[in-house]
Structure 1
Amino acid sequence: MTRLSCWVRSGLVAILLILAPVALWAAPYAAYVIDARTGEVLYSKNAETRLHPASLTKMMTLYIAFQEIEAGRLSLDTMVTVSANAAAQPPSRVGLKTGQKIALRYLIRAAAVKSANDAAAAIGDFIGGDEATFAVRMTRTARALGMTKTTFKNANGLTREGHLSTAHDMTIMGRHILYDFPQYYNLFSRRSADAGIKRVYNTNRRFLDAYEGADGIKTGYTVAAGFNLVGSAKRGNKRIIATVFGGTSTASRNAKMAELLDLGFARAPNRARTVKPEPPMLLAAAPAGLPGPLLKTSPRPVPRPVTPAIALAMAEEVPAVDTDAIAAAVALAAAVPAPAAAPIISVSPAQASTARPLAKPDTGAAVQLALAEDPDTPAPLVEVAAPELETLAMLDEDDGVQAQGDTDASAPIFIQTATAQPETLAMSRRQAPRNDTVILAALTPPPPAPQARREVVARASSSGGRQWGVSLGKYRSQYAAEQALLKTALMESTALGDGLRKVASRPAGHEALFVGLTQGNADLACARLRARAVDCTVIGP
């Protein structure tokens, strides 16, 4: 009877772990900050630890697509045939169907703005011929760019064994996109875009709207990765690029990114000579019987003149014209298919003399997944994919999980071998304690787990609790109060980092409060906010 009860308890624990909120899984934390002009490192923490990049992967997929356009093998108007693999990808997605033909420009928009997994996979399968071949090219390109600890297994970043990168490498990736393809960089700051079959909305719009000077680059989220972000901002002569791995929520990740960018702007010199990264050289070998590059050059998009009418439309976020660049002047000949499966190799100039075409890997080899003996067998623990949101109501939802939602419902959870760092645990302090031991139902009862020490989080109240807080005043609606709290948290993340955001309904309106602070932090936060012309009041017990 005792053994049976142990089995039951073990099974219940496994079920609870499956259904637990994603916030309970604290991924290891890493951060990296550089001066984008020079590449100088301004801050680094666990930046060389190999972690799950999630949808930050799509930066490399788009980078290779931009390479193909610049080399003349593709154009923005090239019609891409959607593969069965791409159509089967889980959310976030735009709903591509097997065999559907869609212009490359729309797939690029969907992958960059919405972080659509099916769009990224369609780009990869079209260029590489299949997922495995394209992943090989991604990894080779990463090495050519100096991303020495990155290995890619797919085009969209869904969790796969061995699909790993670092905060250092992803910062390098972001800098190369900025300088190697500046004509496409504006894609990452668009709040919305026409993806051909639907309008899509930026997964990073909250941070773009809240942080002064922010204009990119890419978000990422999976259960294994946590909330990731490569961010870039420009103020005056300075441009800073920072990367965060392992955020515990969209808000905490954005607050940490704001703190890192502030640190970067404070440490970067006012004047510095821009030293652009050296782009990799491209070697292409077209298969026998297929033509080489069909275009000698790939005309770059030319910005349209901003007339008063267009400026007004942009201010209202209603595009008066297609804000994409003008399409390539010379389209691919309709009767000649693009050599999509040509093995393309990216090498550094130093490697050019020894580079040779890659042999196509055995695509029939099975990919072994952790916690599952057979890739086709459901794993005992799975990531729960959030439903895709199709309406404008998604604008008010959490853009870290629900709007991006790049989790694979058919893949197992991969637990990082690296332990969670103290900063990650501090970021998740307001959430339920993390269970570092994953217990699966087994034929033998598990050994008794040590009793976890519970952490008591005190909340400010009117019942005599000796806690301090900061009031931002009253607002007409709860939504307005929540927005004020979020923007203020990004503005003053240092002193308010340990505070709890709370909206209290009053007869005169909805009061925006930060509670659970020490008196010192409350005084410091309010002083800094007043210096920035933000009204606030320190509240005490």
Structure 2
Amino acid sequence: MLLLRRLVLAFALAVLALASPAWANPMLLLDTDTGAVLYEEDAGAPWHPASLTKLMTAFVAFQAIAEGRVALDTPVTISQHAWNQAPSKSGLKVGSALSMQDALYVMLVKSANDVAVAIAETVGGSEKTFVDEMNATAIKLGLTNTHYVNANGLHQEAQVTSARDLAVLALYIRQLYPQYLPIFATEAVKLGKANLETNNDLLTHFAGTTGMKTGFVCASGLNIVATAERNGRSLMAVVLGGSSARERGEMTAELFLRGFSGALPGTGKSILQVANVAGAPADMRSLLCGKQAKAYVAEREAAYPLGLKGKPSYLTDEIEGRIYSATDLGQLRDVPLPRPRPGYAGVQGLSPVADIAAQPAANLGAIVPRPRPRP
């Protein structure tokens, strides 16, 4: 009887998937050890990155630390320009400072827009100079559909990327700067009396999740780059354009489960063989933040109900999140900000990701996991 109920549930979910309306929802799943793409849908389509921009902000900061331009104990001060950024924010006042290490935690866990700009100003001398370095780095990494206008991901029409480019960037972070991966796996940062929590629900509700970053602006929908490890395998998922945090999290967990179980046959491509597509990025503002929002979200809920009240869910694990304590250094006076060396060295050691192109894609089986009911 239990088997029959499971078969009925699997059939019902398959029908829902077939009945889903045609919308852009770029998705990508790959093996992080080989770069083999297990699944991709519109992975090369241009898309607004939102706070996934902060993956590149972090990468450039990691690069600056490696080159000795700044250090983990370099003060990062909240300027008036940084404080003026729209939420999400740290809550720090103008003139307050964090160490670079603490600033990276607050930026990546809380997705604090003010701290992202403060890091950019500390590393580059100005946000504009830092963004120039972000774009130069994107070119060197082969992110051909990526362009940045700011350091935090607040919406700009020209701020664009793709699921493919985000996956390549995330692979570079993992391979070149593994010492910083605990930041991406952190659930909350304590800063004074504030508890700055992540929006990545997989960290506390999907066993094996190891990071990385979420993002949202009205134009992009809800985005995520996530990594997970189970039974000796490491996978990376990118989901863009979710209509809610529930949908984003459930879709990401489903991709992981299908990948770990062998339900996805693989595409025969490495991540570097996924082609980017030219064109303008999708704009979801009218669907998520305009007059159509209520009807659109209801449509998405009907088509993909996992995680709704009374429905099955993939996010049923209860995991104690990693907590990090940051220190507000207070108002610093007469502390000179470091300035970039002329002609920064750029990205070094590109071979780890480049070697992925030579790896064969996995050929997997067809076991489809079923979500568990919520308690």
Normalising to structure 1: TM-score of the pair? 0.47
Give the drift of 1:338. 2.6
Which position in structure 2 is the counterpart of 1:263? 258
Q: How does 1:416-455 map to 2 (within 5 A)?
A: none
**Distance in 2, Cα, partners of 1:131 & 1:341:** 15
SS of corresponding position for 1:183: helix
Distance of aligned partners of 1:535 and 1:182 in 2 relative to their CA distance in 1, 3 Å threshold: closer
Q: What CA distance in whole angstroms lies between the structure 2 residues aligned with 1:348 and 1:129?
A: 22
Maintained 8 Å contact 2:122/2:338: no
For 2:193 and 2:160, how far apart are their aligned partners in 1?
Answer: 32
- Specify the SS of the correspondent of 2:346: strand
Give the structure 2 partner of residue 128 of structure 1. 124
Amino acid at match of 1:68: A
- What is the correspondence of 1:34-45 to structure 2 with a 5 Å cutoff? 34-45=30-41
TM-fit CA distance, 1:90: 0.7
Report the equivalent of 1:111: 107
Taking the aligned partners of 2:225 and 2:336, their CA distance within structure 1 comes to 38
Distance 2:348 2:99 in 1: 31
Decide which structure has greater helix share. Answer: 2
Cα offset, 1:264, TM superposition = 2.3
Counterparts of 1:369-380 in structure 2, within 5 Å, are none
CA distance in 1 between counterparts of 2:91 and 2:46 reads: 32
Q: Partner residue of 2:199?
A: 203
Q: Which runs of 5+ in 2 are unaligned?
A: 1-21, 265-269, 273-318, 327-333, 351-368
> Does 2:171 correspond to 1:187?
no
| Structure 1 match to 2:18 | none
In the TM superposition, residue 97 of structure 1 has moved relative to its aligned partner by 3.1
- Please give the root-mean-square deviation of Cα atoms over the aligned residues, in Å: 3.1
Q: 1:60 to 1:195 in 2, by over 3 A?
A: farther
User: What's the secondary structure of 2:71's corresponding residue?
Assistant: coil
CA displacement at 1:268 relative to structure 2: 9.4
1-structure distance, mates of 2:59, 2:322: 28
> Which whole-Å CA distance do the structure 2 matches of 1:95 and 1:37 have between them?
38
Deviations 1:97-117 (A, max 9, x none): 333333212211111110000
SS at match of 1:241: strand
- In structure 2, do the counterparts of structure 1 residues 341 and 28 end up closer, same or farther at CA, with 3 Å as the change threshold? farther
Q: Percent identity?
A: 36
Give, in angstroms, the shift of residue 133 of structure 1.
Answer: 1.6
Q: Distance in 2 between matches of 1:35 and 1:216?
A: 15
Aligned to 1:223: 218
Q: 1:347 to 1:183 in 2, by over 3 A?
A: closer
Q: Determine which structure has more spread, i.e. the larger CA radius of gyration.
A: 1
**For residues 65 and 76 of structure 1, what CA distance do their matches in structure 2 show?**
10
Cα distance in structure 1, aligned partners of 2:210 and 2:322: 18
SS at match of 1:69: helix
Equivalent pair of 1:87/1:97 in contact (CA under 8 Å) = yes
The question of whether the paired residues in 1 share the 8 Å contact of 2:204 and 2:321 is answered with no
- 1: CA distance, partners of 2:95 / 2:60: 22
8 Å Cα contact 1:34/1:242 also seen in 2: yes
Q: Distance in 1 between matches of 2:116 and 2:345?
A: 20
Deviation for aligned residue 1:79:
1.0
Task: Verify the 8 A CA contact 1:106 1:194 in the aligned structure 2.
Answer: no
For 1:240, what is the secondary structure of its paired residue? Answer: strand
Aligned AA (1:211): F
* Residue 67 of structure 1: aligned partner: 63
SS at match of 2:86: coil
Matched to 2:71, the amino acid is S
Rounded to whole Å, the distance in 2 between the matches of 1:69 and 1:197 is: 29
CA distance in 1, matches of 2:336, 2:93: 23
Q: Do the aligned residues in 2 keep the contact of 1:141 with 1:345 (CA within 8 Å)?
A: no
Q: Displacement, 1:348?
A: 6.0
What is the distance in 2 between the residues matched to 1:27 and 1:102? 42
Q: Deviations over 1:228-252 (max 9, x none)?
A: 0001000122100010010111011
Q: Provide the residue aligned with 2:84 in structure 1.
A: 88
Give runs of aligned pairs for residues 140-539 of structure 1, distance below 5 A. 140-195=136-191, 198-204=194-200, 206-267=201-262, 338-340=338-340, 342-347=342-347, 492=370, 529=372
Distance in 1 of aligned mates of 2:347 and 2:220: 29
The 2-side partners of 1:141 and 1:38 are apart by 23
Counterpart contact for 1:35–1:268, Cα < 8 Å: no
Give the Cα–Cα distance (whole angstroms) in 2 for the partners of residues 323 and 181 of structure 1.
21
In structure 2, do the counterparts of structure 1 residues 224 and 138 end up closer, same or farther at CA, with 3 Å as the change threshold? same
Count of residues in correspondence between the two structures: 278
Unaligned runs of 5+ in 1: 1-25, 270-274, 278-314, 325-333, 351-490, 494-528, 537-541
Deviation per residue, 1:485-504 (Å, 9 max, x gap): xxxxxx745xxxxxxxxxxx
